């Protein structure tokens, strides 16, 4: 039976609330978008451990860092674009330089945010978060994985950035799949090309692999839910097995998952590679599906890239 698509932000909201019932040390700080990030699920049950600091992202991060010194696991939440861009200096200094136990969890990553347009869509977060020392970067592919990721970062000390989606994403992982920070999951075996994807692009990669299978091309699909630390071993093994890599992300081509994989490929396992992402452009208003099609973030684009990279083997 096909499960109904659900936004990954719902997984975060539900899991943080469930964790809050057993872990009294969880505190959530919001920049007045708790309805949108789903942090309000937590707020409803634990108002005494929830702070809406208003529309003041710098303050959200600074206060979260201070709270963490009192032994709390602090979640700082807002839209991805507002926290990672507006409060970058606070994330860098307060959280990363001081190595605070703060988890920056942001909804509204990617173009699938939709009609609000470029000012609310975040296509830079992986790049600017993964460049920060001490920061680890996670992007779950579906609601089940979002829950597991929320649990994993709660239980792992130190700074994390996690991006969740506003758009409903199909459920493509299984309840029993492990979620280990920094360890990619192979969702489909294959021998001709490996597609390494994260977030919304993982289901597109699976769809592309299925279509290519019918054309006689065998595609391995890797869900790289942790962008930093990237799973070097999974990339090296994939190059050995398939000899070519395609990456796919709902992010600028520059600086994100594709760049992280390319760094590993260049250093450890040279192979032809194609990067799927937004090509140095801001988003615009439209439905998520229209935007994915316009910016080349669909299974057809992955199919095209796979065929291209095979020729370069």
Partner 1 sequence: MSVKPLDIVSLERQAVQIRHEILETLACAGSGHPGGSLSSVEIMLTLYGHQMSHKPSDPKWEGRDRLIISKGHVSPVVYVTLANFGYFPKEELKTFRKFGARLQGHVHTKVPGVEFSTGSLGHGLAFANGIALGARMRGKDFKVYCLLGDGEIQEGSVWEAAMTAAHYKLDHVCAIVDYNKVQENGPTNEIKNLEPLGQKWASFGWHVFEVNGHSIKDLVAAFDALKDIQGKPSVIIAHTVKGKGVSFMEGKSAWHGKAPNQEQLAQALKELSAGGGSASGGK
* Active-site annotation, residues: 57
Only segment of 52-60, 103-111, 214-222, 282-290 that touches partner 1 (CB under 8 A): 52-60
Of the ranges 48-56, 166-174, 197-205, 252-260, which one interacts with partner 1 (CB under 8 A)? 48-56
Q: Does 72 bind partner 1 (CB under 8 A)?
A: yes
User: What CA–CA distance (Å, rounded) separates 158 from 139?
Assistant: 17
User: Judged by CB under 8 A, how many residues of this single chain contact partner 1?
Assistant: 28
| Least Cβ distance, residue 100 to partner 1 (angstroms) | 9
Q: Are the C-beta atoms of residues 225 and 172 closer than 8 Å to each other? A: no
Residue 131 near partner 1 by CB under 8 A: no
Among 11, 62, 110, 190, binds partner 1 (CB under 8 A): 62
Output the smallest distance, CB 27 to partner 1, in A.
8
The yes or no reply on residue 32 touching partner 1 (CB under 8 A) is no
Of 70, 175, 178, 270, which lies in the binding site for partner 1, with binding defined by CB under 8 A? 70
- The tally of CA atoms less than 13 A away on the side-chain side of residue 121 is 25
270 binds partner 1 (CB under 8 A): no
Nearer to partner 1, 32 or 304 (CB): 32
Residue 103: closest CA among 12, 215, 1, 8: 12
- Which range, of 11-19, 65-73, 111-119, 295-303, touches partner 1 by CB under 8 A? 65-73
166 touches 108 (CB < 8 A): yes
Does 71 sit near partner 1 (CB under 8 A)?
yes
CB of 86 to partner 1, least distance (A): 10
Residue 126 Cβ, how far from partner 1 at the closest point, in Å?
Answer: 23
Binding-site member from 6, 61, 152, 205 for partner 1 (CB under 8 A): 61
Q: Is residue 4 left, alpha or beta, with left meaning phi > 0 and alpha meaning psi from -120 to 50?
A: beta
Question: Does the protein bind partner 1 through residue 103 (CB under 8 A)?
Answer: no
Contacts (CB under 8 A) with partner 1, residues 83-102? 89-90, 92-94, 97-98
Name which of 54 and 157 has its Cβ closer to partner 1. Answer: 54
Residues that bind partner 1 (CB under 8 A): 27, 48-49, 51, 53-54, 56, 58-59, 61-72, 89-90, 92-94, 97-98
């Amino acid at each position: 039976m096909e499960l109904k698509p659900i936004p990954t932000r719902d997984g975060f909201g539900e899991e943080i609330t469930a964790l809050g019932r057993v872990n009294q040390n969880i505190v959530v700080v919001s920049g007045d978008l708790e309805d949108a990030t789903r942090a309000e699920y937590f707020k409803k049950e634990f108002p005494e451990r929830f702070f809406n600091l208003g529309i003041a992202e710098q303050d959200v991060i600074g206060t979260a860092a201070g709270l963490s010194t009192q032994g709390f696991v602090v979640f700082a939440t807002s839209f991805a674009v507002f926290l990672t861009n507006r409060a970058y200096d606070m994330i860098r200094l307060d959280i990363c330089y001081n190595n605070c136990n703060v988890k920056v969890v942001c909804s509204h990553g990617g173009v699938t945010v939709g009609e609000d347009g470029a000012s609310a869509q975040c296509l830079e977060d992986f790049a600017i978060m993964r460049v920060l020392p001490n920061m680890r970067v996670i992007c779950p592919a579906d609601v089940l994985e979002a829950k597991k990721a929320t649990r994993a970062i709660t239980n792992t000390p130190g700074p994390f950035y996690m991006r969740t989606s506003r758009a409903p994403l199909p459920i493509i992982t299984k309840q029993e799949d492990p979620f280990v920070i920094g360890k990619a999951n192979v969702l489909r075996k294959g021998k001709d090309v490996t597609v390494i994807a994260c977030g919304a692009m993982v289901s597109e990669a699976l769809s592309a692999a299925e279509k290519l299978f019918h054309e006689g091309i065998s595609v391995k699909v890797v869900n790289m839910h942790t962008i930093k630390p990237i799973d070097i071993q999974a990339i090296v093994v994939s190059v050995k097995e398939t000899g070519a890599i395609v990456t796919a992300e709902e992010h600028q081509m520059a600086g994100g998952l594709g760049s992280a994989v390319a760094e590993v490929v260049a250093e450890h396992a040279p192979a032809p590679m194609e990067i799927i992402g937004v090509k140095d452009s801001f988003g615009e208003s439209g439905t998520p599906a229209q935007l994915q099609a316009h910016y080349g973030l669909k299974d057809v684009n992955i199919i095209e890239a796979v065929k291209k990279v095979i020729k370069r083997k």
